Amino acid sequence: MSRSARRITATVLASGALLAAAALPASADGRDHGHNRPAQRSAVVLGAIQYDSPGRDNGSNRSLNAEWVTVTNTSRHSVNLRGWTLTDESRRSYRFDLRLPGRSSVRVHTGVGRDTSRDVYQDRRDYVWDSRDTATLRDNRGRKIDSESWGRHGGGNNNGHHGGNSNGHQGNNHGGGPRGNR
């Protein structure tokens, strides 16, 4: 084959590859592109939840910090959670300012404390997670990443990711202390 024929063949093959790549559907790269297609599932998910602190709900900081939500990064790579939010049904929200290493978790406690790589604190003086509630995790653009509901008959949640009180979700539905009618 002549040099010219090889160049023409190579050019035709390269052009075909470019056209084929351009013709792929927008969802092939795993992003939504504003077309309401399911985006690629996030590696960051809600883990275990202690939604009603064990023991007597006396409003102490110790009792407040005994209710928490775990956020877990299931990937090998760290994820920057700066600007992400964790919100309850009453729209009480905690804004993250941390990088979560790969294959690790952080507990978000309700009360006051000193943030570490494994525990962060909302610095609240009132309980957040009711015996019937929903925890919603959103990224820094406000997109829903994961949610978990509990305390409703029939279990389940809003997004089908977890089932009922599975995945290590815990909680007491006792009625003592100031939160007895929650």
pLDDT of 159: 38
pLDDT of 24: 42
Summarised one tens digit per residue, pLDDT across range 155-173 is 444 433 333 333 344 454 3
Summarised one tens digit per residue, pLDDT across range 8-39 is 655 555 555 444 444 444 433 444 444 444 45
Token couple for 31: 């992003």
Decide if pLDDT at 153 tops 90.
no
Is the pTM for the entire model greater than 0.85? Answer: no
CA distance 81 to 117: 12
Summarised one tens digit per residue, pLDDT across range 88-141 is 999 999 999 999 999 999 999 999 999 999 999 999 999 999 999 999 999 999
Amino acid at 164: G
Token couple for 19: 């056209």
Q: What single string gives the DSSP state of each residue in 47-98? A: EEEE-S-SS-----HHHHHT-EEEEEE-SSS-EE-TT-EEE-TT--EEE---
CA triple 179-171-114, angle to 5 deg: 80
The answer to whether 77 and 101 are in contact (CB under 8 A) is no
pLDDT of 8: 66
The answer to whether 150 and 182 are in contact (CB under 8 A) is no
Q: How confident is the model at residue 154 (pLDDT cuts 50, 70, 90)?
A: very low
Residue 44: strand pairing partners: 73
CA triple 150-52-105, angle to 5 deg: 80
Which H or E run contains 3?
helix 3-23
